Each structure stands twice: as structure tokens, then as C-alpha cells.
Amino acid sequence: MSATFGYTGKILRVNLSTGAISIDDTMKYIDFIGGEGMAMKIMWDEVAAGTHPFAPENKIVFGTGPLCGSGVPCSGRTNITSLLPSNPYHAVSSSHMGGYFSVELKYAGWDMIVLEGRSPKPVWLRIEDDKIRLEDARWLWGKGIFDTMAMIGSQMGKEAQVAAIGQAGENQLNLAVIRTGSSHSAGGHGGILGSKNLKAIAVRGTGSVKIAADRHALMDADKYLMSLIGANNQHVVPRNPQPWAEFTSPTSRWLAKKGLYWGAANPPVETGECYPEDMQSVGLRTQKAIMDLGPVAEKYTVRMGGCAHCPIRCHSQVNIPQLEQYGVDTNVSNTCMGFFSPAGIMINGMPDKPGMEKGEGAMIGRALGAKLADDYGMWCNYGQIGRDVMYAYSTGIFKKVLPAAEYASIPWDKLESGDPAFLIDFYDRVANKKGELWHIADGSYWLAKRWNFGEDYWNDYKYKLWSKLGFPVHHSNEASGQVGALISCFSNRDAQNHSHMNFIQAGLPINLLKEIAAEEWGSPDAIDDIKNYKPMNEGKAKFVKWSLTRSLLHNSLTLCNWMWPMTTSPLKARGYRGDTALEAKFYSLVTGIEKSKEDLDRDSERAFTLFRALTVRAMKTADMRNEHDQTTAWVVTAEKGKDGKDIQPFTPGTDRMTQADMELGRTLVYKEFGWDQKTGAPTRATLEALGLGDVANGLASAGLLPA
Amino acid sequence: MMGTTNDAAQDTSNQKTQTRRDFLKITGVGLAGAFAAAALGCISVDTRDGRKLKAWRTSSGAIVHDPNLCVGCRRCETACTVRNDGKASAYISRIKVARNFNYGAAGVTAAYAVADGQQGNFRLVGETCRQCSHPACGDACPVGAITADKKTGARVVDAKRCVGCGACEDACPWGMATVDPETKKSTKCLLCDGDPSCAKTCPTGALAFYPWEEAEALLFGTDATSGATAVSGASA
């Protein structure tokens, strides 16, 4: 293996059945960029269709990218790719986590880890630079993730970065996470580590990521990027009026203002005015705790945390002494859904008890649930688990499907009254696979079958199921109409895509966003004003394709798609333009492999088309349009206005789509990708043009190439 | 060269020789030696009672980390190593945030959930080079590779002379000097020619350069006799 820049050049392969450890060459996968892209290639080549996710033959790939560890802002993410247990076809999918794990892995000298087989006994994988060992995990098995990390740290050294599963993963729940650090979870693949008898991977790296370019060139690029960066989700406009700001936006995550504090810091830290040019206040822009936990959380906020090499801090780190009464630690870190999904399980809310401040009850409950789910390693299917509880409870299904004794033993009174202590009981039963209730963690598709959910479960908007494949909305039709709606149609789980979200929520006026859209996707009509959507057009299709491929690009480089791409900036002098060629600029500087924006777009398209081929192969049909890409019915059903009448689609006030328009949308997106416009499957011509001739042959031999 | 201007770092008014008491005992060196010390940053002399003595020019200041403001992004570590080593690394970073990141300086304890670190109370204890007035690293170096930088007074490693023996790493009471496993050369804070890369990159201002008097008070306490040797008990 030759010397490499950005890439370490080495992939670690571990066969858990035999204990064999080997080294593979990263550079043979270079056409797929890194992380998620390379993992798609490995899954295509090495895991046969029809393999069960929990079978030893399944592989799981932990991937970093060439920018990870280089210090490029927001480059701390880890991509995890494998068969997805919650998916009806066990189709390949990815989960991602932030934190510091991937950076440590790079510094240990590894771009990726590929695991296969099943260990005869519980083990954990110890990586200290080039020293690799499988360690006995008998004392860790059965433990929560926090204690697991501490026990490994006590053996390996306090610097070790650990990715681990909790009881949920050990018990091979479909809804289990792999977690690293204080609060970084990759949802959906925890059970696969459990099936392999692998409790954790721990890494210590004393090496480096080599930079190809002159150091000053990289430092200059960093400085330039930092001038364009906004707040969390690349919101470039503050929520509150600031002396420097021309615009404000009520949904902006640029929350800092005078008088808003990290209240539990000692002394309290004021977030302040955060002038865009002030590089020493970038990390104060996002006071996320007051979004995650409500305004009451300000005084409990110790600081904002986040991931390696990211100046934007989006993890709320709070100390809530009231948690002691529930027997858990008072320090809790998480972000977004980590806090919202426990609140979703508490279907009647969590009202304030007498003497509490406004919102304190909900804050305590959210933090308690986040801590419990993070310790057990439970996944929430992007918040769907709460709506599944709501459905099963409100329809009386729990009473029907749970054995009488089990039903009677569940403290439903706590759920009814909104006592957060319900969560303690709930997570214990589910993560520890007790009774029948734990099947709530099968994921929507399997659960609906097992418990015989009605069609209303899929069709009623309030359950927010996006696809009969069993996943919910995640910045779908409510996120720029067809753009978000179509993005959500191409994945095998919730879309996890922020390429579009960051742009449409940047906080800028719609006319300005339309100008930028015209520059990026060839038409101002690629974006409509919120809830005033117009029928499908080619600009939207280009925006959809760009969003899908950019997200995959970020998961391959690895950059955070919750910050990147830098489509806009807070700079009035630039007309609020960002720079969407920055990924390519950093790629070229760090790796020394010169790539333009178009080159990387092409590479991403190759990897995304391979992902599509993997889905075709898993589902054993080329008819993606009808078998994969459809939505649930509510998406294309007119919603009722306050007057009880249907709000006509494509009129102000609704974000519902129509079936015909969505079908046109699918056609236009297929066309952008060069896929078969009837079925949405990749064609031989497109596969060959992307250098995927072997994939075309594979699909052809299975009869899965479109005519 | 990298460095641009930084007013605090360029203020040399308080650079003074810290070892006046020892200087009084020096024989056979006199004023010429003192001037040499000022020019070279440090000088080794024999005292009247036969001891070897190294006299160091005081650093212009040092970088101080604020655990209350730090968000743990560790951009300082890559800012340090990209600028000074042309590669990104945590281990050889001259500002050390990673090592106390998870569990604080004490490491894993039974009370980790309430102790320092991201797995506990979230407090982030970064460590910076104190640019000690009697730097144990420099005193320990067998080849004289560590001297006081002419411009900043920082105790800097001359990579050409460094033999990678690790004596500085062993000697530093704060564990700051680190031999790069890849180059076998010692790395320690060099104050980036007066414009520290880590502080510039810190997104919350948790890292800042302080002139010596302030840095000494912050790092050692207001009444301290500063310097590594003061702590190790070897100072006069």
C-alpha cells in the first residue's frame, strides 16, 4: 500500500467466527469516495441477497472518509452500513453517528472496519493503532452503554473512544443503536453487533491524517469556510434581531442573543450577539437546549457539546438535579429526537407537577428518557416508536395482544397521568425483551403485521408513516413539498437527509432562496414558499437528485449533512451565497487527488446508483416505482381546512401532494439519474457509464434489469 | 514563516530572567553570559558550588484553557498540528483536550457519572504548555534541542537537533512534550510565532494567549513560584 493523504489507505477486516484479522487496501474502492459509498460496494460484492441481518454471513461496515480527522469543519461523523433489520426486505441501509470515534479510528490508521461472522462468545474489539485484539466481554455483556464505556476505558485508557451496544443490541432488537461518546447514536444496526456477539469497538490512535496540500492552503480554506458557516443546520439568519442582522427567522437555530445563557456553567456563559465575523463566538450561536427541552432548560444548560472538529455545537448538555429522584445520573447530553422520542412515548404529555416551573415536567421526562434510551441503546425509528405506542394504546391493541398478566403489570396509570417514571418501566421491558411488549421495537412494518394494525395506522396523518416499508416522515412533504416528499421515497428507512432542509430553513426570504436555487438547480421554481406549493417541475427534480447525492457524498467524506452543504452563508456582502464547491476543494487539498464539484457529484451518483441496485437486488424486483417508491395514502390525500372542506393541493395552506404529481416527480427524478423512467431501476447503459458494468451483469443475471 | 502580528505576544516588556538569585552566585560568566542568555534564550553555566545551572529567558506568555467555555470540538488540536506538522493529529497536539475529554484528568473512576469529562459532568479540562520559567523539558534535553524562541520566548524544539529520546516527555510534570511516533521528534507548544493557531481556531474563546504575568497567575496561582522545577522541588 502506497502512502496516502486524507485516506489512511487501510481497511481493517475482522472475522468474528474465526478471529482472523486482516488488512485490506482502501484505495481499490476509491471510485466510491469513502464511508457510505465504499460500504455500498463492499455490501454489493460480499453480502448475498437474502442474507438475514443477524446471520453471520451479514457484514457491517464502519466507515470514515478522507476528510474525517483532517480538521475540516464538521467532519467527525461515522457511517455504518449493513442490512437493516427493521426493513421488510432487509435492504441495505446506513446509520450514522457523530462524536469522536471515527477521528480516533483515522488516527489509529484505519479508514474503515468490516466485520463478519459471529463470535462464539461475547467479545469486544480493541484497536490500539496497528495492534488489534478481540477481548473477552463476559463482564460487559448485559451492561448498559455508559458502564460498558467506563469499563473499557478503565482497561484501555481514558482516551479510548468506544462504540458500543446496550441490552437492546445484545438482545437483537430491530430498533437498537450503536452509540459512541456521551450521546451519539447510529440507529438501526445495534442488533447486528449483538448477533455477532460483539459488545463494543474501542479505539486509540496516536497517528495522524496526512495532508497533501501546503498547510497554509488548507488553513486558508478553513478560514474561508468559517466565514460562510452559520448555526446548526446551516441556518444563516438569527432567530432574534441582532445589530448586524438584516433578517430574522422564527425557526432558526441561531438562537444566541444577549441575555441568553448556558445557565448552569460556572460562571454562566452568555451566548450574546455572535457577530458572523467573530470566530470566537461561532460555538455559542446554537443554544440548542432551549429548543430540545424548552425555555426552562436555559438554567440547566452546562454547555453545548457535539462532534469532533465541528465548531457548531448542537448537543444540549444539561444537569438536571431533579433526575436523581428517578435514580439516574443528573447529567444528560443529547439532541433533537433523542429528547423528543421519549416525549412521544408519553402520549398524554408530561404535565408540570405542583410547584414546578412551566415546562419543567416535560424537560425532566425528555431528559430521563434520553438517558435511559442511550444506556439501553434503544432506537426510536425516528420518533415512530411513540406513535406506535399511541396507536396500540388508543385502539386497544395492547389489551388484545399482551397476555393479561403482562398487561396488568404495566403501570398504564403513569402513562395516563404523564408521570415520566413510566419510561423507566417501558425501556426496561423493551430493551430486555420482556413479555410481548418488546415487539414494539420490531419496527413499524413487522409490528403492524404481528399486532395486526389496521389500514388507518398507515393512512392517518397523525401516525406519520411515510412508507409501507415501515418508516416515518423525516423532512418529507412538509420540507419544500415535492422536494422533501421525493427525497423520502428513495431510502430504506427514514430519509436522514438535510441537504434540502438546511437550504429551505436557512432563514432567508423566499425571493433570495429562489435566486440561489436558480443558480444551483437551474430554476427559481426548484423551491416554493412554505405551504404554497406548485406542481412538480424539472428544477425540483434536480434539487432532489442533488440532495440525495450530496447526503451520500457527506456520509462518504465524512462530513455532517446536518451542517453541509454550505449552500448559503450569513454574509450580506456575498448576497448570502455559500459555496457548494467546498467539498471538492477540501477533498483536493486533503487527498491531493484533484476533483471538481462535478467530479464528486459524479462519484456520488455512482454510489447512489449502486445503493439503488442493492435495493433492487434485495427486493427482487426492478419495479421500484410501485414496490419501493410509493408513499402512504395521507400524503396524497387532501387535508381538511377549518371549514371542513378539502384544501385543494397546490393552493396556499396545504403541503399535501397528489398521486399524479408525485408520479411525475418520480419520473423526473429517474430521468435525472438516467434510470428507467417506467420502473425507476438503473439501466445497463447508466450502470456502464458509471463504471458499474459488473453491477449491471449481476442484476441482469437475476433478471432485474429493466427492459 | 506563518506568524502574523499579535500585540500580546509581541510585547516583550516583561521578558526578564527569572533566576536572579542564582545569577548572583554565578562566577566566571558575568555580564557577557547574561547577554548571551538574552540572545540565545537560555544559557548553561557552572555555579560557584559546582552545580550546572541553566538560565532561561522568560516566555512572553502562555496559552490558557478555560474549562467553563470549552465545547470540546478539538479544532484546536488540528489547528495546532496542521500548522506546525502539516498533518492532523490529537496525540501530538501541543494543546491537549483529547486526553481528559471522556473522564477528566483523573481518568475512569467509579464516580465517572459525576466526575469531569463528557461521560460525567461535561467539564472539559484542556491542558496547555505552561512555558515554565524553569522548563523541565529544556533542562532534561541531553542535546540542547529545546531553547527559548527569540521572538516569543516560547520553549521550542529544534527538530534538527532533537534525537527523539523522550527525556523532555518524561521530565515535563504536566505531560505536555510529546514525541511524535511517526517522526520520532519531540513536539511541544511553540506559540506559533506569536499568533497561536489553536486560540484563533477556538469557536468559543476558551483558549487564549495571556502575557506572562497573567498566564503565570492563571496557570500556577498568584503566589506561585512558577515553573516546572518549582513543583518538582528542585528549584532554589
When pLDDT is cut at 50, 70 and 90, the band that residue B225 belongs to is: low
When pLDDT is cut at 50, 70 and 90, the band that residue A340 belongs to is: very high
**Structure confidence at residue B20 (pLDDT):** 42
A471-472 and A465-467 beta bridge pairing: antiparallel
When pLDDT is cut at 50, 70 and 90, the band that residue B40 belongs to is: low
Which has the higher per-residue pLDDT, B21 or A697? A697
Domains assigned to chain B: 1-13+58-236 (3.30.70.20), 17-57 (no CATH)
**Structure confidence at residue A1 (pLDDT):** 54
- Report the alpha-carbon distance of residue A346 to residue A430 in Å, rounded: 15
When pLDDT is cut at 50, 70 and 90, the band that residue B223 belongs to is: low
Is the CB of A70 less than 8 angstroms away from the CB of B78?
Answer: yes
Number of residues that this document lists for chain A: 707
Residues 198-227 of A with CB under 8 A from B: 205-211, 215-216, 218-219, 222
Answer yes or no: are the C-beta atoms of A78 and A163 closer than 8 Å: yes
A309 shares contact with chain B (CB less than 8 Å): yes
- Evaluate if residue B46 carries a pLDDT over 90: no
Place of cell 488540528: B78
Chosen for mutation from A104, A159, A214 (greatest number of chain B CBs closer than 10 Å) is: A159
Chosen for mutation from A303, A560, A591 (greatest number of chain B CBs closer than 10 Å) is: A303
When pLDDT is cut at 50, 70 and 90, the band that residue A527 belongs to is: very high
Measure B207 CA to nearest chain A CA, in Å.
9
Minimum mean pLDDT range among A62-71, A288-297, A611-620, B33-42: B33-42
A193: left (phi over 0), alpha (psi -120 to 50) or beta: alpha
Alpha helices in A333-452 (DSSP H): 337-345, 360-376, 384-394, 397-401, 404-409, 412-417, 421-431, 444-450
Domain ranges of chain A: 10-204, 229-463, 474-564+596-701
Place of cell 498533518: B87
- Evaluate if residue B226 carries a pLDDT over 90: no
| Model confidence pLDDT, tens digit, residues A110-120 | 999 999 999 99
A287 shares contact with chain B (CB less than 8 Å): no
Query: Cα(first)–Cα(last) distance of chain B, in Å?
Result: 38
CATH topology of domain A474-564+596-701: 1.10.599
- Evaluate if residue A61 carries a pLDDT over 70: yes
| Model confidence pLDDT, tens digit, residues B71-124 | 999 999 999 999 999 999 999 999 999 999 999 999 999 999 999 999 999 999
- Cα distances from A655 to residues A469, A475, A662, in angstroms, run 22, 12, 13
Q: Which residue of A lies nearest to B104 if distances are taken between CA atoms?
A: A158
B146-148 and B155-157 beta bridge pairing: antiparallel
Measure A107 CA to nearest chain B CA, in Å.
7
pLDDT, averaged across chain B: 83
Q: Which CATH code, of 3.60.9.10, 3.40.109.10, 1.10.287.110, 3.40.50.2300, is assigned to A10-204?
A: 3.60.9.10
- Report the alpha-carbon distance of residue A281 to residue A567 in Å, rounded: 21
**Structure confidence at residue B228 (pLDDT):** 46
Reported as type and span, the H/E element at residue A696 is: helix A693-701
**Structure confidence at residue B49 (pLDDT):** 81
Which has the higher per-residue pLDDT, A242 or B235? A242
- Cα distances from B114 to residues A269, A328, A332, A355, A480, in angstroms, run 21, 11, 11, 27, 44
- Evaluate if residue B16 carries a pLDDT over 50: no
Name the residue among B83, B119, B181 with its Cβ closest to that of A207.
Answer: B181
Q: State the average pLDDT over residues A501-511.
A: 97
Percent of chain A with pLDDT over 90: 99
Q: Is the model's pTM score more than 0.90?
A: yes
Sort A30 into a burial class: Cβ within 10 Å, 0-12 / 13-18 / 19+.
middle
Q: Which residue of A lies nearest to B208 if distances are taken between CA atoms?
A: A280
pLDDT, averaged across chain A: 98
Q: What is the CATH number of domain A229-463?
A: 1.10.569.10
- Evaluate if residue B22 carries a pLDDT over 50: no
Q: State the average pLDDT over residues A569-591.
A: 98
